[in-house]
Amino acid sequence: MQPTIRPLADGDLEAVVALSLAAWAPVFASLEGELGAEIFRLLYPDWRAAQAAAVEAVCTAPEHTVWVAVADGRPVGFVAVGEVDEGGPRAGEVVMVAVDPAAQRAGTGAALVGHAVAHLRAAGFELAVIATGGDPGHAPARALYEHLAFRPLRQVRYYRRL
């Protein structure tokens, strides 16, 4: 059964932060594997605290529109959108999206991103943008976005301990 998608409510924030941290734990494990423990610790000394703060900031920023996917009376995912300057057509960005691991691979992520894209289209945007990592932990996100007809532009970012 597909969850219901509705606007974020004040009482949702704690659950959204918790599901996001659970969803991104494998991603940060992948990043540590790719970067090595030393560089990972430099970049993410406390990734959970940093990500919790980032989710809260995105969800409460007045320039973002945020929805939650609700199943069995609780949030199981969220998506946030905002405007982004791509130097050309009016562009909207899917700023952040996460799905509770227990609700993954059931269409929740596709429903959330599809809802966000429909909102951007209805708001008159000509281009939708979404970004994710190139590491193995982000492979499911890349597969979803490509399935939803987003076209990738590969970029590489390098790190070196000094």
Sheet holding 127-130, edge to edge: 4-7, 65-71, 74-84, 91-99, 127-130
The Cα 147–Cα 142 span in angstroms is 8
The pTM of the whole model exceeds 0.85: yes
The Cα 158–Cα 143 span in angstroms is 23
SS3 label, residue 4: strand
pLDDT in tens, the chain (162 residues): 689 999 999 899 999 999 999 999 999 999 999 999 999 999 999 999 999 999 999 999 999 999 999 999 999 999 999 999 888 889 999 999 999 999 998 899 999 999 999 999 999 999 999 998 888 888 888 888 999 999 988 888 888 888
Tokens of 51: 């990500």
Identity at 74, one-letter amino acid code:
R
Going by C-alpha positions, the residue among 95, 27, 24 that lies closest to residue 57 is: 95
Tokens of 42: 């430099």
Domain ranges of the chain: 4-147
The Cα angle at residue 123 between residues 121 and 126, in degrees rounded to 5:
50
CATH superfamily label, 4-147? Gcn5-related N-acetyltransferase (GNAT) (3.40.630.30)
